[in-house]
């Protein structure tokens, strides 16, 4: 049996713990043994994105100590996984266990698709769903082809979701446009960030989506704030919740 170290991002831990529990249910349903090391902390992404490498390094070192003994590390977040896979070289490169961690840390859908080779997710989700493709997952983890690349089309998240009974997946007119969150970008460029988020929501609304689903609660949190302020009926849900059969 594969043993997975479950990494839960800060904002999921603090604001959306039900997403972490949905992730556990999905993994266990597919025969995975899940462990949650309680000493885990932030992966260091906010500091690294702000250019504060010295502040990010101790967090990367701790992440390596906590998770290097597992077969795989899985997280319900494309951006945090990308931090470990693509940006730890300059922080903990050359340390014992780094290369294994780098090669065995996966986003949830990526793990189901690439490691467990799941073809069909058992479950039913009878809703009209617009899929938000977050930038880190799409462009750094390559969970999908990306409209800017001249390659055959593929989408690992969409493939898994489409296997749910009753689901209707709707394509926005600009399938992989950024929602405007971007971590500290949403703080430093608030007006631009909000306008990008409103455009993204409007695109999904125009296609008739009831729910906007994605792999990163950071993006969904950003759009949800805009949705609630505008009093719109559309909802946001993490993909893990859909795969777990939770409406």
Residue 49 is predicted with a pLDDT of 86
What is the residue-averaged pLDDT of the chain?
94
Q: What is the pLDDT of residue 247?
A: 58
In angstroms, the CA 200 to CA 105 distance is 29
Q: Assess whether pLDDT exceeds 80 at residue 226.
A: yes
Residue whose tokens read 């961690």? 101
Closest CA to 219 of 180, 190, 189: 180
Q: How confident is the model at residue 160 (pLDDT cuts 50, 70, 90)?
A: very high
Assess whether pLDDT exceeds 80 at residue 148.
no
Q: What is the pLDDT of residue 100?
A: 95
Give the pLDDT of residue 183: 79
pLDDT score of 50: 87
Pick the CATH number of 3-115 from 1.10.357, 3.90.380, 3.90.70, 3.40.50: 3.40.50
- Please determine, for residue 5, whether its predicted confidence score (pLDDT) is greater than 90: yes
- pLDDT at res. 182: 83
What is the reported pLDDT for 191?
92
**Domain ranges in the chain with CATH number 3.40.50:** 3-115, 128-243
Residue whose C-alpha is closest to residue 144's, from 159, 126, 163, 162: 159
Looking at the chain, the whole-number percentage of residues with pLDDT higher than 90 is 84
128-243 carries CATH number 3.30.70: no
Pick from 199, 58, 211: nearest CA to 129? 211
Confidence of residue 151 (pLDDT cuts 50, 70, 90): confident
| Residues 167-214: tens digit of each pLDDT | 999 999 998 899 988 877 877 888 998 999 999 999 999 999 999 999
Residue 142 neighbours by CB under 8 Å, 6+ apart: none
Split at pLDDT 50, 70, 90, the class of 38 is very high
* Residue 164, helix vs strand vs coil: coil
């Amino acid at each position: 049996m594969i043993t997975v170290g479950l990494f839960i991002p800060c904002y999921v831990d603090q604001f959306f713990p039900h997403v972490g529990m949905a992730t556990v249910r999905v993994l266990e349903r597919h025969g995975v043994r899940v462990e949650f090391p309680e000493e885990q902390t932030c992966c260091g992404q906010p500091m690294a994105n702000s250019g504060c490498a010295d502040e990010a390094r101790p967090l990367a070192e701790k992440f390596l100590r906590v998770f290097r003994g597992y077969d795989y590390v899985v997280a319900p977040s494309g951006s945090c996984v990308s931090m470990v896979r693509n940006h730890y070289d300059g922080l903990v490169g050359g340390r014992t266990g780094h290369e294994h961690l780098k090669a065995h840390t996966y986003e949830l859908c990526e793990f189901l698709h690439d490691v467990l080779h799941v073809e069909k997710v058992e479950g039913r989700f009878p809703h009209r769903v617009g899929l938000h493709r977050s930038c880190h997952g799409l462009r750094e983890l390559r969970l999908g082809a990306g409209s800017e690349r001249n390659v055959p089309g593929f989408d690992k998240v969409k493939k898994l979701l489409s296997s749910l009974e009753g689901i209707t997946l709707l394509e926005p007119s600009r399938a992989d446009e950024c929602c405007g969150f971007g971590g500290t970008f949403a703080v430093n460029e608030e007006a631009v960030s909000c306008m990008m988020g409103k455009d993204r929501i409007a695109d999904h609304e125009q296609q008739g989506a009831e729910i906007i689903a994605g792999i990163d609660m950071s993006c969904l949190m950003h759009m949800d704030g805009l949705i609630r302020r505008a009093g719109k009926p559309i909802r946001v849900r993490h993909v893990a919740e859909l795969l777990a059969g939770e409406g």
